[in-house]
Amino acid sequence: SRNELLMLIDADLSEFKKEDITKLITPVINKKVDMTINLIESSPVLSKIIGLDFLSGIRVFSKKLINNKDIEKLHGFGLEVYINKKIIEKNLKIKIVRWHNVTQPVKTQKFGFFKGIKELCKMIFQINKTISFFEMGYQIIRLSYLKI
């Protein structure tokens, strides 16, 4: 990418509008924060309670944050936790951007119950190749302190 910022958006979102994109990117463009992370209506209940979906694939950040050689080594769903790790290492500020009307189907809705559970386990396994379960908890706590 030749631009300074990267925006990640999940392909299976519904009901999002151009205003939502503006809301996601503006704090980073205006240099109020280093990254925005999205929290959508269908985020897991725990994520809504703590006000942070640390696995959200919807975010905006500077491409300087990531190393392409590191990215090539990641497994599937490891990208988000890799980005979180970089944010934490550099003690950067994040903003949670809520999209109240936007939803995303959970794995069991997309694939059916049994295949959905299998895909969920596969996702967790891929994440665990990037960080440990202990580090997942650590990321949630540290990112919570980096929120503005």
144 closest CA partner among 47, 45, 20: 47
pTM of the model as a whole: 0.88
Q: Token pair for residue 47?
A: 């994520």
SS3 130: helix
Under DSSP, the state recorded for 41 is T
8 Å CB contact between 129 and 78: yes
Per-residue pLDDT 10s for the chain (148 aa) are: 578 999 999 888 888 889 999 999 999 999 999 999 999 888 888 899 999 999 999 999 999 999 888 988 888 889 999 999 999 999 999 999 999 888 887 888 889 999 999 998 998 998 998 999 999 999 999 999 999 9
